[in-house]
């Protein structure tokens, strides 16, 4: 039997985002084995995905590491792939198409573009629209690509939630990657103060990652952990599903919330646009400003006040 390979290296938000595309691919190729090539941080997560038959690891070592490339090529050749669906669409995966998996049908944003259209222009389009265009060129019915559902990743966290809350809660994600400080809005404590003074029916919580536990102590909220450890991705997805509203920077958990069907808002600076990263849904919205340092807590509260008042 011939097999299909999907490539997606990460990040967490990207994995949540391709949930719809994975479902569409699965439902089109019901008689094929479908594998995904990804990086170590997402192997366990994608191993739980019901739309996939297997997960392969790409360590993404430098391309001058010829011994690694030979080993990777040998591993990939064992699966006899006859179709590669490249959802990463990077210079690395273009290299793979030329040297590791050549002579195999390859579907990437570059391969499906009309000759008169530049990839640089295409890459400015919303990412989910790009996936849709890609898959339609394979004859795939893209019923779910534009509406990813990340629910497959959520575990039951009733035992965790019951330890912390007796009422409904808002979940904050006030952190971001240390390499991307421009994504971090600085006024979460001020917003929390406003919310607490106006909505005593709501509790406020954060679920910090392993490197955020110390910084979490500076936020005036309940810190959610599991036996003093950060929640894993499955628990985090479950916690997001249990929350009544999510407020976040442009981070992986924000994208998870959007594609878990939650109500919420993400705060964007100049680094990109909400349209390009396809984060907005009918329930999950964004505020975009040129400088997050100039976005006040009062302005954010005015945008979400009605949504919070509607939480019973």
* Arithmetic mean of pLDDT over the chain: 94
Q: Convert the pLDDT of each residue in 213-262 to its tens digit.
A: 999 999 999 999 998 999 999 999 999 999 999 999 999 999 999 999 99
For residue 114, name the pLDDT band (cuts at 50, 70, 90): confident
Query: 89 or 177: whose pLDDT is higher?
Result: 89
- What pLDDT shows up at residue 1? 56
Cis peptide before 11 (omega within 30 of 0): yes
Q: Convert the pLDDT of each residue in 176-204 to its tens digit.
A: 888 888 899 999 999 999 999 999 999 99
DSSP bridge partners of 248? 173, 266
- Give the integer Cα–Cα distance in Å for 193 and 200: 11
Q: 283, 289, 278, 288: which is closest to 307 by C-alpha?
A: 283
- What pLDDT shows up at residue 241? 96
- What pLDDT shows up at residue 179? 82
- Give the integer Cα–Cα distance in Å for 171 and 263: 11
Statement: the pTM of the whole predicted model exceeds 0.85: yes
Asked whether 241 and 263 are in contact (CB, 8 A), the reply is: no
Residue whose structure tokens are 């994600």: 173
Q: Which two tokens stand for residue 218?
A: 């500076």
- What pLDDT shows up at residue 117? 84
- What pLDDT shows up at residue 74? 96
Q: 244, 290, 242, 292: which is closest to 267 by C-alpha?
A: 292
Task: Count CA within 13 A, CB hemisphere, residue 209.
Answer: 12
Q: Convert the pLDDT of each residue in 43-64 to its tens digit.
A: 999 999 999 999 999 999 999 9
Domains in the chain, please, with CATH? Answer: 3-152 (3.40.50.2000), 156-309 (3.40.50.2000)
């Amino acid at each position: 039997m011939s097999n299909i390979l999907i490539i997606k290296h990460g990040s967490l938000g990207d994995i949540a985002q391709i949930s719809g595309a994975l479902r569409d691919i699965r439902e089109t190729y019901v008689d094929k084995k479908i594998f995904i090539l990804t990086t170590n941080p997402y192997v366990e997560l994608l191993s739980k995905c019901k739309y996939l038959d297997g997960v392969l690891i790409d360590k993404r070592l430098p391309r001058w590491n010829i011994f690694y490339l030979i080993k990777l090529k040998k591993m990939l050749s064992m699966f006899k792939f006859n179709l590669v669906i490249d959802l990463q669409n990077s210079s690395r995966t273009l290299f793979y198409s030329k040297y590791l998996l050549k002579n195999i049908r390859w579907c990437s944003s570059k391969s499906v573009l009309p000759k008169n259209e530049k990839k640089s222009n295409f890459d400015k389009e919303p990412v989910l629209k790009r996936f849709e265009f890609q898959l339609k060129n394979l004859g795939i019915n893209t019923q779910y690509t534009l509406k990813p559902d990340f629910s497959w990743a959520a575990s039951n966290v009733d035992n965790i939630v019951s330890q912390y809350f007796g009422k409904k809660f808002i979940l904050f994600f006030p952190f971001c990657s240390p390499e991307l400080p421009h994504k971090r809005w600085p006024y979460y404590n001020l917003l929390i103060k406003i919310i607490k003074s106006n909505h005593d029916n709501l509790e406020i919580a954060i679920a910090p990652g392993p490197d955020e536990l110390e910084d979490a102590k500076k936020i005036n909220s309940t810190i959610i952990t599991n036996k003093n450890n950060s929640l894993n991705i499955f628990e985090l997805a479950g916690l997001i599903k249990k929350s009544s509203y999510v407020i976040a920077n442009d981070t992986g958990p924000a994208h998870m919330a959007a594609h878990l069907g939650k109500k919420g808002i993400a705060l964007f600076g100049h680094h990109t646009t909400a349209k390009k990263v396809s984060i907005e849904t009918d329930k999950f919205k964004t505020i975009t400003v040129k400088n997050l340092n100039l976005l006040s807590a009062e302005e954010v509260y005015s945008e979400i006040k009605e949504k919070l008042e509607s939480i019973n």
